[in-house]
Amino acid sequence: METFVSEIATEKGVKAPLAEIEPKKRVARIPTISREVRLVSRPHGLPVPDNFTVVRVEVPPPGEDQVLVRNLYMSVDPYMRGRMNDVPSYVSPFQLNQPLDGAAVGEVIESRAPGIVPGDIVTSRLGWREYFVSGMREVRVVDRDVRPLSAYLGALGMTGLTAWAGLNLVDVKAGDRVLISAAAGAVGSIAGQLSKMRGCRVIGSAGSPEKVTMLLKELGFDAAFNYKDGDLPRQLKASAPDGIDVYFDNVGGEMLEAALSAMRPNGRIIACGAIGGYNDETPVSGPRNLHLFVTKRLTMRGFIVGDWFDRMPEFVKEMNAHIAGGGLVMKETVVQGIDRAPHAFVDLLRGGNIGKMVVKLTKEDSGPGHVGE
């Protein structure tokens, strides 16, 4: 799959080298047809294209207190893999032959909801589709001047909130030596930069030489290594000779075992995800050194970002300050077109992304209100 990376913030602020959507307040031509992605069979292991289909559906006109929204960007996230299994979890499983859902940012095309007007930019949970009609409470109007608007899916969205929540969960503070796995990914790249801003020494693990270089040269990590080079304990020792105080765990498995061994007394582990095991058909064994929890007085805490939604205003304020100050680099990998959304998702699970993986649902040269195909 072809993907391209847009670097969307610089030292001096925010820029948007890609042709950016410029929302304007005008009534758009009303679409009647939208494409949406449905799950048609449950994946075994890594998902394949046949698990998905793209369907054309009719979009009704909005009723009272409803809005019609054209999605500009949709998010693909690792947690969606769990929802493709038919097992109960903290979010309900996706249903077969129904559209998938997830975070999206879009433009209001038509509104019968008080206080919402065409041209407003809204976030919603109604991704994986080009257009939708929903009640006004299912969308949130956001600042239309943020660039790129896809930041609402990354640094300013659930991804950023996840990184921020994890660090707050175990009170990461100046002087902490922080290891971050999947450090070049959406959450890891933000968590690492926020840790640096808090005065930590930050070590990243990633899955390619390019990612390692990016962490060191662009995101300001103090050390980084490629986990695919193997011998994690040795690599970790080289990167963090004095051990680590905090481990931001996005992968589980062997890296967790190595991190436990490298932990300093009273170390804290943020259990954020275990992407390494999301596609496993058979659960893999856990670390062999959990006894270190006792001898090193370790703490491990898992969390769900949804439990932190009430702190969104505090989070947004802090992140906006970082972005305005030019200190936060927002990396993203953008895939074009809803028909390629399943590929983007699979590529994400393979580690094909750098930073936040998003799908751009409008054509590059399209503006708001242009109902392109």
Site for its own copies in 155-214 (CB under 8 A): none
Q: Which is nearer to its own copies, 185 or 252 (CB)?
A: 252
Binding range to its own copies, per CB under 8 A, among 65-73, 220-228, 280-288, 325-333: 280-288
**Binding to its own copies by residue 96, rule CB under 8 A?**
no
Residue type at position 264: R
- Closest by CA position to 352, among listed 227, 165, 185, 228: 185
Closest distance of CB 140 from its own copies, Å: 24
**Binding to its own copies by residue 82, rule CB under 8 A?**
yes
N-term to C-term CA, the chain: 21
Burial tier of 103 (Cβ tally within 10 Å: 0-12, 13-18, 19+): buried
CB atoms within 10 A of CB 238: 12
Structure tokens given for 167: 């660090």
Size of the site for its own copies (CB under 8 A): 35
Closest distance of CB 323 from its own copies, Å: 27
Q: Are 83 and 96 in contact (CB under 8 A)?
A: no
**Binding to its own copies by residue 293, rule CB under 8 A?**
yes
Pick one of 19, 44, 90, 325: the residue that binds its own copies (CB under 8 A).
90
**Binding to its own copies by residue 273, rule CB under 8 A?**
yes
Which sign does the torsion angle of CA 239, 245, 247, 248 carry?
negative
Structure tokens given for 60: 């009704």
Q: Are 194 and 164 in contact (CB under 8 A)?
A: yes
**Binding to its own copies by residue 56, rule CB under 8 A?**
no
Site for its own copies in 236-265 (CB under 8 A): 252, 256-257, 265
Site for its own copies in 304-343 (CB under 8 A): 304, 307
Pick one of 57, 141, 197, 271: the residue that binds its own copies (CB under 8 A).
271
Pick one of 68, 84, 262, 298: the residue that binds its own copies (CB under 8 A).
298
Rounded distance between C-alpha atoms, residue 169 and residue 174, angstroms? 15
Binding range to its own copies, per CB under 8 A, among 26-34, 55-63, 204-212, 303-311: 303-311
Pick one of 138, 146, 254, 303: the residue that binds its own copies (CB under 8 A).
303
Q: Which is nearer to its own copies, 149 or 255 (CB)?
A: 255
- Closest by CA position to 100, among listed 80, 123, 79: 80
Pick one of 213, 289, 320, 336: the residue that binds its own copies (CB under 8 A).
289
Could you give the count of Cα atoms lying within 13 Å of 21 in the half-sphere of its Cβ?
28
Closest distance of CB 312 from its own copies, Å: 18
**Binding to its own copies by residue 228, rule CB under 8 A?**
no
CB atoms within 10 A of CB 214: 24
Residue type at position 48: V
Pick one of 10, 89, 95, 98: the residue that binds its own copies (CB under 8 A).
89
Pick one of 277, 327, 367, 369: the residue that binds its own copies (CB under 8 A).
277
**Binding to its own copies by residue 4, rule CB under 8 A?**
no
- Closest by CA position to 38, among listed 61, 57, 63: 57
Q: Are 58 and 70 in contact (CB under 8 A)?
A: no
CB atoms within 10 A of CB 199: 11
**Binding to its own copies by residue 344, rule CB under 8 A?**
no
**Binding to its own copies by residue 92, rule CB under 8 A?**
no
Residue type at position 74: M
Which residues would be at the binding site for its own copies (CB under 8 A)? 82, 89-90, 252, 256-257, 265, 271-274, 277, 283-304, 307
